[in-house]
Structure 1
Amino acid sequence: MRRPVLLPLLLLALAAAVVDARFVVEKNSLMVTSPTALRGRRDSAIGNFGIPQYGGSMAGAVVYPKANSDACDAFGGGGGGKDQLFRTKPGALPSFLLIDRGHCLFAKKVWNAQNAGASAVLVVDDKDEPLITMDLPREDDEAAKYIQNITIPSALIDKKFGEQLKKAVKDGEMVNVNLDWREAVPHPDDRVEYELWTNSNDECGPKCDMLMHFLKEFKGAAQLLEKGGYSQFTPHYITWYCPQAFVVSKQCNSQCINHGRYCAPDPEQDFSTGYEGKDVVVENLRQLCVFNVAKEIKKPWIWWDYVTDFHIRCPMKDKKYNKKCAETVIKSLGLDAKKVDKCMGDPNADSDHFLLKMEQDAQIGKGSRGDVTILPTLVVNNRQYRGKLERKAVLKALCAGFEETTEPNVCLSDDMETNECLSDNGGCWQDKAANVTACRDTFRGRVCECPTFNGVQFKGDGYSNCEPAGPGKCLINHGGCWHETRNGKTFSACQQSGNGDCKCPAGFRGDGVKKCHDIDECKEKKACQCPDCSCRDTWGGYECTCSGDLLYIKEHDTCISKTAVQAKAAWAAVWGILVALAVLAAGSYVVYKYRLRSYMDSEIRAIMAQYMPLDSQGEAETRSSSCDEILYRDVFGGEWQLDFRVGMNCVPTHLSGALSPYVSRKQSRLVVFPQNKGETQSVSVNNLGNRDRPPEAIVKVIKAQGNNQQKTRKPYQKYIASTSWLLIHHILQSHFNH
């Protein structure tokens, strides 16, 4: 037999009283559209049951019942509301039932209204006070019949506003309102952050059953959103602490860990049987650690697998709600059980646990979010969710948290929202021919924005005008410009480059948008006007022919003979070949001269350097005091005695005879005209073919006589003597032979 557990409840009440709690009422907007006197926007408090239309809105006509105005009884004389008094008539707005507060539970009022056919419920407060949240009743057999079956939204309005609505309805005026949940959830960006305050206890009645059913049902959607990067989920667990004066009491010892710091109610509310509250706290902590370990390996969605598997494999009713069963589940999911155990620490330690301490701190509301006092509680983008904890309803709330146009596909399915683009294209621009539309379906409705189609960006206001722009614009319906096809030929006024204006192509005249007319080039004498030309107009151009064997040249608008053209082409080819050959010959000659000169110069210098130093070898060496004299008779009859040197050395005497066969020859002679006796002249030995100059010879005049002396009067006159390469070769050859 169970006994009341008063002390634990008192302790929990005391613990809650220590904290200055702040409960935030979640609101939605209520807009009155008629009558004119009441037109405007008011606040209403979202009921914490039913299914609010998060991200959407609902328009309806207000109805106030003449009897049973508090809806505590079933409408229709207790028949369960089967007569559907407030059912929406075809073509009419949905019925919003206006009922009074008092005499029964909020949820029961809404349940009766739903059975009577109402689409939504507005509850009028009976007190002049700030708005409050209509919460779920305590669980009992009667409430369990309708709590999970309420599907219509409800809201609480203040007393003054409610009285105004009732008076307008009684006066026979049409009262139309619009309930708007589009801003009930913040939607700042493309990722939703949400948290669920839950519990591992599975023996707390219908509420625990509802929570576990939701976890199993919502797991798939939650994991898809998390894996896709669309959401960031965080689980939380509510705990209380035991007042210091009762830490050593039996009740605290059975319900708390860490010396009364973290507590949970006894699952069966009976200390003598079953599991204890501290067992629940320990499992709550284990589930937090599972989430942390999974998060470390970047797989936070494993938490959903663990809590659902643990509920199935380790239920309290089967006496498997323990560490051994939990570790079996942990290992089956590929997690490190030792890391989880290390995270949990010692539940008997007289110290704070970092995770549970953070959980208690997080229960206190911050900013726009109130304190977490209801279990379970869902928080979406730091705003507490109100309504039934059911997959579709919660998914609607999450989808409402995305910035418009960033929602994932799961939010745009038919069972989640209505595609407004299917009706009259949402009032947006549309090109039916190209099957392009500016209407973009969103969770909240639709937006009209010019699209990108087949890689082409459209620009415009999205409502009445969208035009392709940029590269490729002519691929989409010719950029909105004129175009026409005849006999397989297509002309378009679309310009890929330029400022994007439509311009009629060559051969046409017009505005380029609606019409381009063909130009008759023959009639307007724009082409084919030479004497021998014959013109025929075509669509988009013309044809010009010449008489006889003449050929038409379009660039010059003239006719020329085909044979002349052929002869001209032949001569052009011949001249081209000749020019190419000439260029090739000149190039070959230049290369030949350069290579031959380089080769001969290197060879001669190498040979002569073996017996006569060159200029590059320096002038530090001293000449011999005297050389053998050579008697030389020049071509003018002059007679010379020469001290003949090559470089720094004397020419050997036995070479003097080698000069005579050559110096007397006119084509190859050695002529020296020094200015005075004893003066040294530099004599160059050059080839008549202008080859590179060999080393200079130094000639010293020993004795001079004859007819040539008159030429020496010219001051420092030097005449270059030329000798053939054969002479140099003969001298060197004679030297080698000796």
Structure 2
Amino acid sequence: MQIIFLIVCIVAFVDCKLKVIRPAELVDRLGSKIDIALANFGEIPFGHRVVGYVDVASPNDACVPLEPAQQSHFVLIERGGCSFVTKVRNAQNAGYSLAIIGNNNDEPLSSDFVMADDGHGYSVNIPSIFIISRDFQILKEYSTKAGEILDDKVLVLVKFDVKKKERTDVMFSLKVNDRDSYRVMDEFSEYYNLLVNENVNYTLVYEIFNTNTTETENFTDADNCICSRRYCAEDPDGTGVATGKNIIEEIIRQTCIFKYYADKYFQYMDKFNFQCSKPQAFYICGSKILTNLQIPADEINKCRDDSFRDVVTNEVTKNLTNAFNTILDHQLLLRDQAGWLMVPSAMVNSVIYKGKLTGKGIFGEICNSFVTPPSVCKDEVDDYYNEGSGYQYLIWLILFISILIAIFVIILYFLFKKFVKRDSVEVTQVQVNEMVSQYIKFYEGKEQQKQNSF
């Protein structure tokens, strides 16, 4: 049985809360926000906020099919009696868009809380949240009292906010011989191409171990390790001919391909998934794919060879007995920093992606992790045009108006200058005419005086 961890949203970087909108009396009793935890199945709308009326499941534990949802969107379900997946799937089949599962105690939610997937979590598409018993019972009390009268129903808002950064960091945890890892990368490939020119930093972490951890107890055989058992991988076929060395060699090659030819990495992964089924033949099979995709094998092989260094001189070496590998050391460091990771899984801005792991889901969380989402994210981000292009539109509008005002002022200036000049000419002309008239009168007066004197 696969163990699924609930990540408490109030820890670290994800701010997930449940907020009661009405009735006012319930808001007073529960406060403004209720802490919640998320399940690791279902499609979680990271970066979005959803609002809905609340029903009480009948039966309360939702272990059998529920009556169809009528006017409500969310349903309250008690813990116990069956698996979480069964409860949420029954809520989904009844037409609800979110399940609120109440614990049977009031212990504070923590990252230590664990719930199990019954193996059918892939069939669940709606998100589900988990709250403590006290909050659940109060919500249930008011929702039961409201009945079917819409105006009396409890209305809540659930926030799935994420940490936002100017640059989004994405980490994929993968396993070379795990088909689900290839499925995730294949689904994400189209979104990688959409984001190729955006500020996204990708990191690949593959499943390898070293002999300093207890994880290698069952496969530290020399055939499953390289560099004097410094790096080990799980035997892919038990007693078969394949070994962990085949896995490690492919890890190095895939890492080199992504480093130098990230645009072709996803094509390589897709072909490798369908064409290379036998680990003992990974090297030959992968080499054929390199040729097919026109990825220079010499460059990839040089990347691999240059990653082996002598432990004393730090120079490139072919003597693997006394060597360390820079690529694999970095992989171990990343794995240690990230902590325990499921395979496959993804982390966005240091937060483990929760819910059904799909390429579109990861793309949605990446988009909502940008402070200013790029245009390719417009369908994934609430109020995109208000936060992104709408803001830019406002800037352009202000700039346009400013230019119009400037042009208007310049026109007024020249018009003013023209009219002032014209008025000045007219005034000057009048003054000149007046002076000429006075001069003529003065001259005529002088002439008249001369004539009178004779």
TM interval, shorter chain, is 0.7 to 0.9
Separation in 2 of the partners of 1:498 and 1:362? 66
Contact kept, 8 Å, 1:314 with 1:322, in 2: the verdict is: yes
Separation in 2 of the partners of 1:242 and 1:232? 30
Residue 186 of structure 2 corresponds to residue 216 of structure 1: yes
Residue 334 of structure 2 corresponds to residue 378 of structure 1: no
Contact kept, 8 Å, 1:451 with 1:457, in 2: the verdict is: yes
Residue 225 of structure 2 corresponds to residue 256 of structure 1: yes
Report the Cα offset of residue 250 of structure 1. 7.0
Residue matched to 1:409: 375
Residue matched to 1:314: 276
Q: What aligned pairs does 1:65-144 form with structure 2 within 5 A after superposition? A: 65-67=57-59, 69-76=60-67, 85-87=68-70, 89=71, 95-127=73-105, 128-132=107-111, 137=117, 143=119
Instruction: Structure 2: state its 5+ residue gaps.
Output: 11-15, 147-151, 309-317, 434-454
Report the Cα offset of residue 65 of structure 1. 1.4
Report the Cα offset of residue 158 of structure 1. 2.1
Structure 2 letter corresponding to 1:287: Q
Contact kept, 8 Å, 2:101 with 2:130, in 1: the verdict is: yes
Of 167, 178, 188 in structure 1, the residue corresponding to residue 157 of structure 2 is: 178
RCO higher in structure (CA 8 A, sep ≥6): 2
Q: What aligned pairs does 1:344-383 form with structure 2 within 5 A after superposition? A: 345=308, 349=321, 352-365=324-337, 371-383=339-351
Residue 254 of structure 2 corresponds to residue 276 of structure 1: no
Structure 2 letter corresponding to 1:457: L
Residue matched to 2:176: 200
Structure 1 letter corresponding to 2:287: E
Separation in 2 of the partners of 1:215 and 1:244? 28
Structure 2 letter corresponding to 1:328: K
Contact kept, 8 Å, 2:241 with 2:280, in 1: the verdict is: no
Q: What aligned pairs does 1:310-709 form with structure 2 within 5 A after superposition? A: 310-316=272-278, 321-331=281-291, 332-335=293-296, 336-343=299-306, 345=308, 349=321, 352-365=324-337, 371-404=339-372, 407-413=373-379, 416-417=380-381, 440-442=385-387, 450-453=394-397, 457=399, 468-469=401-402, 471-473=403-405, 494-496=408-410, 556=429
- TM-score for both structures, normalised by structure 2: 0.74
Residue matched to 1:267: 236
Report the Cα offset of residue 378 of structure 1. 0.8
Residue matched to 1:36: 27
Distance 1:100 1:253, change over 3 A: farther
Structure 2 letter corresponding to 1:334: I
Q: Deviations over 1:87-135 (max 9, x none)?
A: 5x4xxxx511111223333222221211111111112122424334666
Separation in 2 of the partners of 1:109 and 1:274? 44
Residue matched to 1:55: 47
Distance 1:311 1:125, change over 3 A: same
Report the Cα offset of residue 309 of structure 1. 2.9
Report the Cα offset of residue 180 of structure 1. 1.0
Contact kept, 8 Å, 2:54 with 2:76, in 1: the verdict is: yes
Report the Cα offset of residue 449 of structure 1. 7.5
Distance 1:350 1:175, change over 3 A: farther
Aligned residues: 397
Separation in 1 of the partners of 2:73 and 2:6? 31
SS in 1 for 2:189: helix
Contact kept, 8 Å, 2:176 with 2:247, in 1: the verdict is: yes
Contact kept, 8 Å, 2:252 with 2:304, in 1: the verdict is: no
SS in 2 for 1:373: coil
Distance 1:505 1:398, change over 3 A: farther
Structure 2 letter corresponding to 1:114: Q
Q: Deviations over 1:604-660 (max 9, x none)?
A: xxxxxxxxxxxxxxxxxxxxxxxxxxxxxxxxxxxxxxxxxxxxxxxxxxxxxxxxx
Residue matched to 1:290: 257
Report the Cα offset of residue 283 of structure 1. 1.6
Residue matched to 1:636: none
Residue matched to 1:514: none
For the pair shown, the structure with the greater C-alpha radius of gyration is 1
Distance 1:327 1:63, change over 3 A: same
Of 155, 169, 193 in structure 1, the residue corresponding to residue 129 of structure 2 is: 155
Separation in 1 of the partners of 2:109 and 2:411? 65
Distance 1:114 1:555, change over 3 A: farther
Q: Deviations over 1:572-591 (max 9, x none)?
A: xxxxxxxxxxxxxxxxxxxx
Structure 2 letter corresponding to 1:273: G
Of 243, 249, 267 in structure 2, the residue corresponding to residue 305 of structure 1 is: 267
Separation in 1 of the partners of 2:165 and 2:190? 25
Contact kept, 8 Å, 1:240 with 1:262, in 2: the verdict is: yes
Distance 1:384 1:334, change over 3 A: same
Residue matched to 1:643: none
Contact kept, 8 Å, 1:282 with 1:347, in 2: the verdict is: no
Larger fraction in helix: 2
Report the Cα offset of residue 401 of structure 1. 1.3
Report the Cα offset of residue 403 of structure 1. 0.9
Report the Cα offset of residue 274 of structure 1. 5.9
Identity of paired residues, percent? 21
Contact kept, 8 Å, 1:412 with 1:442, in 2: the verdict is: no
Give the alignment's Cα RMSD to 1 decimal.
3.9
Separation in 1 of the partners of 2:353 and 2:324? 30
Distance 1:135 1:229, change over 3 A: farther
